[in-house]
Amino acid sequence: MGKLTGFIEFQRETIPYRLPLVRIDDYQEIYTAPDVDHLTTQGARCMDCGVPFCQSTSGCPIDNLIPEWNDLVYQGRWEDALRRLEKTNNFPEFTGRVCPAPCEGSCVLGITDPPVTIKNIESTIVNRGFEEGWITAQPPAHRTGKSIAIVGSGPAGLAAADQLNQAGHTVTVFERADRIGGLLMYGIPNMKLDKQDVLRRVQLLQDEGITFKTGVDVGKDISPEQLVHDFDALLLATGATQPRDLPIPGRELNGIHFAMDFLTASTQSLLNSEHADGNFTSAKDKKVVVIGGGDTGTDCIATALRHGAQSIVNLEIIPQPPAERADNNPWPQWPRIYRVDYGHEEVAAKWGADPRDYAIESVQFNDDGNGNLKSITVAQVDWSNPVENGPPFSRVAGSEKTIEADLVLLAMGFLGPEHYVVAALKDEIQLDPRSNYQATHGEFTTSIPGVFAAGDCRRGQSLVVWAINEGRGAARAIDLHLMGSTTLPAPGITLGSPLEPA
């Protein structure tokens, strides 16, 4: 460790965002440039624990060597820190921006003090790597003659493509959208992840030999059976893109949209024309209600605010989390506590209050008489009084109220992959009870030999860092399947797995 008493001497200080009332006027990233001395001091807080829980399964799913690069940053050895980071993480410029940092929730220092600013340090390491020219294309020295098709260019698909390409295989990635990146390109707004960062990484992967095909919708434009025939292996990395709906009275009214449709169209229009083409659902001058929390709900809030919404309300059916860990949420679990994310902070700065209303059930969408949304009727729920043989809460009698709304965004999560992608396969892929493609973590093979699955389409809706874990793991499984042995690493794999080296 860099400084034995660093965790005692220095307090946690995160890199601040740009001021809320300034950043809501543009779609630039919300982050400010870090000071090197600041990061050096924060790296000194790392205790180099005997058991670094930040690298455990409750911490970092890709086993980032966090204490090592914290120490190297403290010593000013930034390029060495980058090389440590690249050993486990294909895309630290993505996780350093959008990951909620479960590693910080598992930081040993966090038992008694605020944890190390791991996410800030990670992001700065990779940013400096690009600025200094330390990150360059590294094509593989040889080719194996084996070919792999990957369906989906989100973080799981890209991570698998990167690993398989470095192993010498020929990789082709199919993406139905007009740009590569999947969730990274269209599911996360520009102010949280600038698309130039995505394009920069995609160009690197292309320079290293990966082929990308955009505008190709597997299952519609090309049959998956054709891919099975033409390639030595097929990896499904399509994500969990089937949104959860809200089938209450009035759902058919105009003005009710799924959150991801709203975010995708807004980002696509921004990139194509800076919103001049009008090919998106605008929240300008509208009374917006976002139903559902989480990152997607926050992104909807921030996007609607930048469109020029008249008002924004965020409804969550869960109770408000506590300010500190509850007794049933001990360290090193992810702390389920009350947080103010960037979108909430922006609304509070503009209108003086957090937009969230907790323990609220949506009852009915109300018509303006012309088939358009006018308002939504909601009710308070009591989680301490569950309904027998029913939901884990009950509606509070007399608590109904009406909220004016002409735009509702449904951000309630996802139910699994869209199955049309594999419908044309002559053998049916088995699904798990949640409708995901059934494949064991560590093996990643589906019920069809030579067809693999990884990412959200296999494990369900999850984090970008878990998608990278899955992509890396699937690449190792595919390499083993094709070559009979593999030297690719296995992130997060358990002892005793058939893929664990002897």
Query: Which tens digit of pLDDT belongs to each residue from 429-486?
Result: 999 999 999 999 999 999 999 999 999 999 999 999 999 999 999 999 999 999 999 9
In this structure, the strands spanning 373-382 and 401-404 are antiparallel
What is the tens place of the pLDDT at every residue in 394-426? 999 999 999 999 999 999 999 999 999 999 898
Res. 56 pLDDT band, cuts 50 70 90: confident
Reply yes or no on whether the pLDDT at 496 is more than 80: no
CATH class of 147-241+415-483: alpha beta
Reply yes or no on whether the pLDDT at 210 is more than 90: yes
What is the tens place of the pLDDT at every residue in 211-239? 999 999 999 999 999 999 999 999 999 99
> For the structural domain made of 245-412, what CATH number should be given?
3.50.50.60
Q: Please name which of 198, 246, 11, 36 lies closest in space to residue 121, comparing C-alpha atoms.
A: 36
Neighbouring C-beta atoms of residue 426, cutoff 10 Å:
9
3-state DSSP call for residue 391? coil
Cα–Cα distance list, 20 to 26, 275, 341 (Å): 11, 21, 11
> Per-residue pLDDT averaged across 31-58, rounded?
91
pLDDT for res 497? 35
> Per-residue pLDDT averaged across 200-215, rounded?
98
pLDDT for res 456? 97
Considering only residues 491 and 310, tell me which one the structure prediction assigns the higher pLDDT: 310
> Per-residue pLDDT averaged across 193-220, rounded?
98
With a CB cutoff of 8 Å and minimum separation 6, the contacts of 345 are 17, 20
Look-up: residue for tokens 């790296």?
43
> Per-residue pLDDT averaged across 105-125, rounded?
95
3-state DSSP call for residue 200? helix
Are the C-beta atoms of residues 372 and 255 closer than 8 Å to each other?
A: yes
Instruction: Please count the residues of the chain.
Output: 502
pLDDT for res 50? 87
Retrieve residue 245's tokens.
Answer: 């709906």
> Per-residue pLDDT averaged across 28-33, rounded?
96
Cα–Cα distance list, 246 to 54, 214, 363, 481 (Å): 37, 32, 10, 42
Cα–Cα distance list, 177 to 10, 72, 180, 181 (Å): 47, 40, 7, 9
Res. 2 pLDDT band, cuts 50 70 90: low
Look-up: residue for tokens 């679990």?
333
pLDDT for res 90? 97
147-241+415-483 and 245-412 have identical folds: yes
Residue 103 φ/ψ, nearest 5 degrees = -60, -40
CATH class of 6-131: mainly alpha
Measure the CA–CA gap between 266 and 187, rounded to whole angstroms. Answer: 10
Neighbouring C-beta atoms of residue 135, cutoff 10 Å:
18
Neighbouring C-beta atoms of residue 223, cutoff 10 Å:
16
Question: What percent of the chain is predicted at pLDDT more than 70?
Answer: 97
Q: Please name which of 281, 276, 348 lies closest in space to residue 314, comparing C-alpha atoms.
A: 348
Mean of pLDDT over the chain: 95
DSSP for 405-441, written as a single string: -SEEEE---EEE--GGGGTT-SSPPPB-TTSSBP--T
Cα–Cα distance list, 62 to 124, 463, 464, 467 (Å): 18, 12, 11, 10
Are the C-beta atoms of residues 61 and 466 closer than 8 Å to each other?
A: yes
> Would you list the domain boundaries of the chain?
6-131, 147-241+415-483, 245-412
pLDDT for res 492? 59
Q: Evaluate if pTM is beyond 0.85.
A: yes
Res. 493 pLDDT band, cuts 50 70 90: very low
Reply yes or no on whether the pLDDT at 77 is more than 80: yes
